Structures are given as structure tokens and as C-alpha cells.
Amino acid sequence: PERRSEDGPLDEDRPAHRTASADRRILRLRAGLGLLAGAATAMVTAAAWLRAEQELPTWTTGLEGSIEETGVSHEVTGVLLAFRAYDTLLESAVLLFAAVAVLALGQGRGLDHVQRSRSSPASVLPWMARWIAPLVLLTGLWLLFAGSSDSGGAFQSGAVLSALLILLRTAQVPLDGLLRYALRPALVLGVVVFILVGLIGPLTGDAWLSWGDQWSFALILTVEITLTLGIAVALFVVYLGLESPAEDDGPYQHPAGNTSRDQLAGEGA
């Protein structure tokens, strides 16, 4: 049994109890300070948000009356490529930079060295790709051109066409020519054309990214087509980077000499 004095535990046990009690008080203090800091941050953020909503300008005219000036009849497409074209350009540029970062950090040697998988695909996959690929292609093209009057557009069409490229890649359909010659120009085509079309406004005495009433539909359609190609290729490049991670440049340099990792593993076993 534990030796106890008349007043409780022996003196040699008291420092441990005091340390545990102090640790609990410190934890409670940290939790309280964390709650106060979180509450203060939430209050400041809410106050800034409410003040910004009061100060920002509001849309004074109805969208229905202005959508006809864009050349398209669907509200979402009109907003994305006419009233908020700058936001759409930035979103496309972010996707482009993400694909460039994957090329720079993932493989390190560019698209020319992306190799096909050595393992044979399942027997049903090439057969399925031959039947599904045309349907996926038609669906992607329909989404592109339906965006002017219905739900659809460049981002939806680009995602579907990227899925088509991934399907062909998984089925080991030869895409060497696409990887070597067409992928890089298509990757930057959408953003470059978007910027060049946006310069038509200043050249004609209007604001940047402003489409004239006479050419608005043709310009928006041109931007949509090129953005679709850029989005599809950017997503496909991200897939290639995940499929083919960075590899070692050569054998592992062991202090004993030029020894591969497999040989070292065999020696360790």
C-alpha cells in the first residue's frame, strides 16, 4: 500500500501532482485564447464583408435587357464572356499555369519523354474505347456549341474532351504525334486568343475585353472554341504528370561504388 502521511500523500509525490495541475491550467488557457482569437477573427471578417457589400457598386439594370447585346441567348455564357470576361480569363490562365507547373516539376523532361505503359490494357478496354470515344467526342462538341443558348460551354466541353484523351491514353491508343506537336500550342492557344480578342476593344475605342455588337457572337464563339482546346489539354497534361511522376536520373550512388537500389535491396535481404 502507498505510504501516506496524516495530511495526504507524502511530500515527494506533491511535485508531480503540481506539474499535472499546471499542465491542465495551461491547456485550458490555450483553449480559451484560441476561442477568443477565433471569435475575434470571425467578427472582423464579418464586419469587413458587410462593409464591402455596402460600399461595392451594385448592378442597376436588368440582365434580361442587356443579354441581347452579347450575341448569345444564354445568361451564364453571357455573364462569363461579356460581363465578367476578366474573371474567366484569369480562371483559364490559372489552369494554364497549373499545367505548366506540372510539366516543370512532374516529369522534368517535357512531353517528348512521356512513354506509354508497358503493361497491356484489359482486353475490353480497347474495344470499349472504339465504341465510346466517338460518343464522348460528339458530347463534348455539343456542349461547346450548346453553350450559346443552353447549359454548356468551354469548361464543360473541355472537361469531356479531356476525359476522351485520358480514355484513349488508358487504352494505349498511339498519341505520339499529339504529344509531340499539338499539345503545347493547344495548351496556350485559349489564353493567347482570349487576350488578343480582348485587345480589339481598345483598338476600336472601347474598353478592354469589350465585344462590339456586330461581332460579339463571332468573337465569343472563337474564344469558346480555343478555350475548350486549352482546358482539355491542360487537364490532360495534369493527368500525364500524375501518371508519369519524376524519375531518378540514374543509379543510386553508394559510397562503395555505382550500385543500383535493387542490388542494395538484394544485399540487405
Same domain, 35 and 95: no
15 domain-assigned: no
Tally of domains within the chain: 2
Domain of residue 41 covers 22-53
* For residue 42, pLDDT beyond 70: yes
Same domain, 126 and 27: no
**Alpha-carbon gap, residue 117 to 120, rounded angstroms:** 8
Same domain, 216 and 111: yes
pLDDT for 2 equals: 47
Same domain, 174 and 129: yes
Same domain, 160 and 199: yes
Burial annotation 135-161 (CB, 10 A radius, 16+ → b, else e): ebeebbeebbebbbeeebbbbbbbebb
Same domain, 238 and 175: yes
pLDDT band of residue 251 (cuts 50, 70, 90) is very low
Nearest residue to 81 via CA among 186, 193, 163, 160: 193
pLDDT for 57 equals: 62
155 domain-assigned: yes
Same domain, 39 and 153: no
Same domain, 26 and 155: no
In the structure grid, which three cell numbers stand for residue 163, read together? 476525359
Mean pLDDT of 112-127: 63
pLDDT tens profile 179-194:
778 888 999 999 999 9
Q: Which of 56-70, 98-112, 162-176, 182-196 has the lowest mean pLDDT?
A: 56-70
pTM above 0.95, yes or no: no
Same domain, 80 and 188: yes
Q: What rounded mean pLDDT belongs to the chain?
A: 76
pLDDT for 13 equals: 52
Nearest residue to 193 via CA among 156, 155, 228, 222: 222
Same domain, 126 and 29: no
